[in-house]
Amino acid sequence: MGAAEPTVSKQDIVLSERGQPTLALQLQRPASLAAGEVVYVHGGTFGADLSIFYRFDGRSWADALNDIGFAVWGFDFPGYGRSERYAPDLERPAGRIGDSIAHLRRVVAAVRGRNGDRPVCLVAHSWGGSVAARYAGSYPQDVKALVLFAPIVARAPRAAPAGATAQRSHYPLTQWAQYRRFVEDVPRGQPQPLSEAHFEAWGAAFLASDPRAAERVPPSVATPYGPLADIGALWSGEELYDPSLVVAPTLLARGEWDSLCTDADAQRLLSALGAALKEDVKIERATHLMHLELQRTVLHDRVNRFLERTAQ
């Protein structure tokens, strides 16, 4: 017999506000809600459908959170997934942290408007961790617990990533470029952390997230440039938020093979956080995209146990 379908309900919600981009918000909740709400904040290259809601072999991270009583809210920042796209003639990097904080606030307000005004748990990946941490420091009353996995941390000034200072709104991201992100940090002689079959399926879904991907040569997703510009700022020594203002219980999770969040990065951020409860976990044989890799269930388990302890 095959695995039973998760006993959950899924709801799509459209957040519309005059003068603001329309946001696609999703809710996946278990039949019995006991633990609270998780709001997922995605990273700089793909949204919620391709991360917390994406099912490998019939199971997603959202399913695992539902199993322990959490409702899972995911959304796409403007320019990603099913949210509104930026104007094609925008002459600045689209989706920088200042704009993204305002969009996250819209999402959290919508969640609290539907959950009895209870604070939420933020789970954030990569660049999205900067958005979530800044939000948690600015609006502590909204955040019960914070998870930053593979966060990008401010470093001493150095050369910015290639192209990070360019003044353009978007850049094309191909399926091959995404594949390289899964393998470039893997030590020689180690197996790749995501099977070819799983990547082919996920990669096709990635291209499908942009309705105009096939019009480009090679096919690619038009990706907002703001997150890359923010990473360039962080790696030039600019603090995009004040970690000392983050007081919610915080878990920092990172992959053993993640060059974008090193031991030194993790220690620097942990030392600066204002939270009384802050924990660090390193996932073996995992890279920057560990939530999609073979070790994803280890990450899911460690994060979920932290949320169970801190979100009650």
- According to DSSP, residue 46 is labeled -
Contact 37, 71 (CB under 8 A): yes
Share of the chain above pLDDT 70, in %: 95
> Over 60: is that where the pLDDT of 6 sits?
no
> Over 70: is that where the pLDDT of 168 sits?
yes
Among 25-39, 113-127, 219-233, where is mean pLDDT lowest? 25-39
177-193 confidence digits (pLDDT tens): 999 999 999 999 999 99
The whole-number pLDDT of residue 31 equals 86
How sure is the predictor about 164, in pLDDT bands with cuts at 50, 70 and 90?
low
How sure is the predictor about 1, in pLDDT bands with cuts at 50, 70 and 90?
very low
How sure is the predictor about 87, in pLDDT bands with cuts at 50, 70 and 90?
confident
Does residue 218 have a cis bond before it (omega within 30 degrees)? yes
The whole-number pLDDT of residue 161 equals 56
In whole angstroms, give the CA distance from residue 224 to residue 141.
30
Question: For residue 205, which of 82, 87, 29 has the smallest C-alpha distance?
Answer: 82
In whole angstroms, give the CA distance from residue 28 to residue 8.
7
In whole angstroms, give the CA distance from residue 237 to residue 41.
23
The whole-number pLDDT of residue 8 equals 77
Q: Give, rounded to a whole angstrom, the gap between the first and last alpha carbons of the chain.
A: 36
243-259 confidence digits (pLDDT tens): 999 999 999 999 999 99
Q: Phi and psi at residue 143, in whole multiples of 5°?
A: -120, 115
Place of tokens 């091959």: 176
The whole-number pLDDT of residue 311 equals 84
The whole-number pLDDT of residue 238 equals 94
Place of tokens 């604070």: 119
Domains of the chain: 8-310 (3.40.50.1820)
How buried is 107 (Cβ within 10 angstroms: 0-12 exposed, 13-18 middle, 19+ buried)? buried
Place of tokens 């809601």: 53
Amino acid at 279: E
Amino acid at 277: L
Rg of the chain, C-alpha, whole Å: 18
**Tokens of residue 32, six digits:** 């019995």
34-45 confidence digits (pLDDT tens): 789 999 999 999
Mean of pLDDT over the chain: 93
